[in-house]
Amino acid sequence: MEESNNSSEMGFLLLGFADDPQLERILFVIILLFYILNILGNTAIILVSYLAPILHTPMYFFLSNLSCVDICFTTSIAPQLLVTMSKKEKNMSYGGCVAQLYVAMGLGSSECILLAVMAYDRYAAVCQPLQYTTIMHPQLCASLAIIAWLSGLITSLIQCSLTVQLPLCGHRKLDHIFCEVPVLIKLACVDTTINEIELFVASVIFLIVPVSLILVSYGFITKTVLRIKSATGRRKAFGTCSSHLIVVIIFYGTIIFMYLQPAKSSSKNQGKFVSLFYTIVTPVLNPIIYTLRNKDVKGALRTLGQDRDKRDSVTYVG
């Protein structure tokens, strides 16, 4: 117990990619670039969705929530990672590690639920178009968003609280890019079978169940779209949902690899790169994938730009 207390007082050594300085320098630039793009891209989605009346729909309401989660999720990890990578001493305080553990897991879990909710929204839009506004009424949308946020908070409080109680026996070297439950479990010097079972159950609830619901939703969507006689109509319907499906595959594929395996079995380098992908890369892809070929967003941006030009013109004339 005394050695465990020493870990609490001294904190951790967040090793990251310190064993390869050249790779660490390259990754520093990439992570910084992706973090800036994340902030700019997701903030733009939130602002445009709020300012443009044409985007006041359930889809963009949930997308705004997703963008908010992505900004907070990456912010809980990237700044600390960049600071650690930029200095020779890879120290991270115990309190900072625990705070990161709770915040990152809570936001990651919320994103899992949000993506499932967005799949249901697309199901309602494609399979029940006449009843869509009735089904996805504002009260239901608000309730689903609250459930997503609260479920992430609750699972984080439970799982992380169980993890921080494990005795670490003085081990300070955290061979990872941030404080994450499977990695901290590896540091424990006691039998962690119960913790691994609890982590597996939570992973099934927040990963397998949402993925299953998403696949069922897209099964119905595909069946409905194939009934459309017009080739143009089919392309439009598939285009509406393809962006969401791409995000789902990328996000769930990497995070399932990290969490749905025994905590002490994964390669350390594999775990680092997989975690880097779903914490840093995927949040940048969300705004790009959702808006790159989206006519509604492009139209909203043009409208907002024209309105601004008109205001500037009136101000100048006045």
Q: pLDDT tens digits, residue range 155-172? A: 999 999 999 888 877 667
Q: What is the DSSP string of 196-241?
A: HHHHHHHHIIIIIHHHHHHHHHHHHHHHHHHT---HHHHHHHHHHH
- For residue 308, being part of any structural domain is answered with no
Question: What is this structure's pTM?
Answer: 0.85
What is the mean pLDDT of the segment spanning 85-93?
Answer: 84
The total of structural domains in the chain comes to: 1
What is the mean pLDDT of the segment spanning 106-121?
Answer: 93
- For residue 62, being part of any structural domain is answered with yes
Q: Mapping DSSP to helix (H, G, I), strand (E, B) and coil, where does residue 137 land?
A: coil
Tell me what pLDDT residue 166 has.
Answer: 87
Domain that includes residue 286, residue range: 2-296
- For residue 310, being part of any structural domain is answered with no
Tell me what pLDDT residue 168 has.
Answer: 78
Tell me what pLDDT residue 316 has.
Answer: 47
Q: Does residue 82 surpass a pLDDT of 80? A: yes
Burial environment of residue 77 by CB neighbours within 10 A (0 to 12, 13 to 18, 19 or more): buried
- For residue 317, being part of any structural domain is answered with no
- For residue 90, being part of any structural domain is answered with yes
- For residue 198, being part of any structural domain is answered with yes
Tell me what pLDDT residue 73 has.
Answer: 95
Q: Does residue 101 surpass a pLDDT of 60? A: yes
Query: Across the strands, what pairs with 181?
Result: none
CATH code, 265: 1.20.1070.10
Cα–Cα nearest to 290, from 85, 122, 77, 87: 122
Tell me what pLDDT residue 9 has.
Answer: 54
Q: pLDDT tens digits, residue range 35-62? A: 999 999 899 889 888 888 888 889 899 9
Q: pLDDT tens digits, residue range 188-209? A: 888 888 888 888 898 899 999 9
